[in-house]
Structure 1
Amino acid sequence: MDLTAVREVVDGQIALPWRQGDAWLAGGTALFAEPRPGLRRLRDLTTLDWPPLTVTEAGIEVAATCTITDLLAFAETPGAPWPSGRALIAGCCRAFSSSFKVWNTATVGGNLCAALPAGPMISMAVALDGTCRVRGLDGTERAVPVRDFVTGNGSTVLGPGELLRSLTLPAGALAARSLMRRVATHVWGRSVALVTGIRGRPEGRLTVTVTAATSRPVTVSFPCTPCPGELRGRLLPALPCQLLLDDVHGRPRWRRHLAVHLAEEVRSTLAEER
């Protein structure tokens, strides 16, 4: 879609004062997906040439401008470290309600900053205990856990002029056993409920996260694998009606039912693994 109100696109490296009508541009697949009459200037982040992925013993740093194609290629590289974590990353990459052609342009940072409930990079990053590296126009940076980065449907903690520099996924979470379960109305459809689980070693701590069904991520954790009743007892109060989405893709009660059902699948499967 054309953004007819935009008057200029500027190099993201140029230090310019932030003004009303500015927006950061990376892949642009979310930015150009709907009319945005308030936009006047786009600040192009691709000119910064950030390395898409940096892998160390401590984990992975994913640049905000890393495309879904690049992330998926890493996740599916034979012999790369953290097979369980990479499988979760690959599953979330393939949960996009778009074709592989869009993945060549869509970015990890753009999906996080769009803060759509069905954003699969949000699901991935919360499940793997990710941290957002947020940078201000003056160069100062702050770290924000992904679970706190998204505050609602389409809203984040980013202030005027702030940008998401990168996402860090720690090695401990990548090495843990993890699993994803998802429901969509058709193969390439938007997720109506997506549940991830991660079980740490050796103590067996279990963390379950619900996304897509809710306006922001919902996480519940247990020191060891709970029984079905314990999981349900913690999850249902964490999914009040006002937090559940109500749109053409599904009603709140159905989404809650799916979330709890998928969470139990995740719990039981991870509990069986040794």
Structure 2
Amino acid sequence: MDLNTVLEVRDARQRAPWRSGDAWLGGGTYLFSEPQPHLRRLLDLSRMGWEPLRRQPDGSLEIAATCTIAQLSRFARAHQDIPAAPLFEQCCRAFLASFKIWNMATVGGNLCNALPAGPMISLTAALDGSVLLQAQDGTRRRTRVTDFITGAGRKDLAEGELLRSVTLPARALAGRTAFRQASLYGLGRSGALVIGTLDPLDGSLAVTLTAATVRPFRFWFPAPPGAAELRDTIERTLADGDWFDDIHGLPAWRRHMALRLSEEIRRELAGEARR
């Protein structure tokens, strides 16, 4: 879609004072999908030269905000030595994306849209990821993905602040994972997406709910819980307003599917823990 209110597209490497009507341009798959009448200038990040994915000396993985879904998928297929690598591809495929989206949509854009069904939110929240944010004055801060997304379409991002990267810790990458997704339609948007991770060192289990909820919820247990404990923990934590409600699923259905998929994951990973 043409954005006929935009008067200028500036290379983001050319620093300029932030002003009302500015927006960061990553892949643009959301930005150009609907009218944006409040925008006057786009700051293009495509030439920043950020390495899409970089293994750190401590074994963690830094994913640049401009990393595309295609680049993330290729990395996962090339690094099958990483136990959590299959989860990368499962979340990439949760987009059900066209060729254009697959090759242009970015990890950072998906996080900053903060949509409940954002699969990059699901991936990075489940793997205990943290985002690096940079303000206009150059100062940086880091916050966990589960804290960065504060609601449906809402995130902890100040005016002019930039999401630079997301980092996944080495310990999370070494864990066993389980993935479940449900939709009202065969090729529809996720109505519930649940991911489980089993820590390889201490046997702790984390279950992360997304798509069914307005923001990601990550539940951590020092050991795989029983079915009743898992269900009670989820139901005690989530209020009625935490279940998402839109055309892709009513809250009651989303709650039912999230609880059902969580139990499936508990059984799968609890079996792994006993081996």
- What TM-score does the superposition give when structure 1 sets the normalisation length? 0.96
2:108 pairs with 1:126 = no
Q: CA deviation at 1:140?
A: 1.3
1:212-265, Cα deviation, whole Å (9 max, x unpaired) = 011111121111000000000101122222111111111111100000000001
Following TM superposition, where does structure 1 have runs of at least 4 consecutive aligned residues deviating by more than 3 angstroms? none
For 1:259, what is the secondary structure of its paired residue?
helix
Alignment of 1:149-228 (within 5 A): 149-228=148-227
Amino acid in the other structure paired with 2:102: W
Name the count of aligned residue pairs. 272
Q: CA deviation at 1:145?
A: 0.6
Which stretches in structure 2 are left out of the alignment for 5+ residues?
none
Q: CA deviation at 1:131?
A: 0.8
> Structure 2: how far apart are the matches of 1:152 and 1:22?
23
> Structure 1: how far apart are the matches of 2:182 and 2:99?
19
Residue 73 of structure 1: aligned partner: 74
Amino acid in the other structure paired with 2:97: S
For 1:271, what is the secondary structure of its paired residue?
helix
CA contact (8 A) 1:68 1:106 kept: yes
> Structure 2: how far apart are the matches of 1:66 and 1:190?
22
Q: CA deviation at 1:80?
A: 4.0
Residue 48 of structure 2: aligned partner: 48
2:24 pairs with 1:24 = yes
Residue 36 of structure 1: aligned partner: 36
174-183 or 197-206, larger mean C-alpha shift? 197-206
> Structure 2: how far apart are the matches of 1:48 and 1:235?
41
For 2:146, what is the secondary structure of its paired residue?
helix
Residue 97 of structure 2: aligned partner: 98
1:134-179, Cα deviation, whole Å (9 max, x unpaired) = 0112221111111101111111111011101011111100001111
Residue 58 of structure 1: aligned partner: 59
1:63-97, Cα deviation, whole Å (9 max, x unpaired) = 000000000001111x5431x31111110011004
For 2:72, what is the secondary structure of its paired residue?
helix
Which stretches in structure 1 are left out of the alignment for 5+ residues?
none
CA contact (8 A) 1:213 1:245 kept: yes
Amino acid in the other structure paired with 1:143: R
- Identity percentage of aligned residues: 52
For 1:188, what is the secondary structure of its paired residue?
coil
> Structure 1: how far apart are the matches of 2:186 and 2:163?
30
2:167 pairs with 1:140 = no
- How large is the Cα RMSD of the aligned pairs? 1.2
1:94-118, Cα deviation, whole Å (9 max, x unpaired) = 1004224311000000000000000
> Structure 1: how far apart are the matches of 2:225 and 2:201?
15
Amino acid in the other structure paired with 2:219: V
For 1:48, what is the secondary structure of its paired residue?
coil
Amino acid in the other structure paired with 1:191: S
CA contact (8 A) 2:184 2:249 kept: no
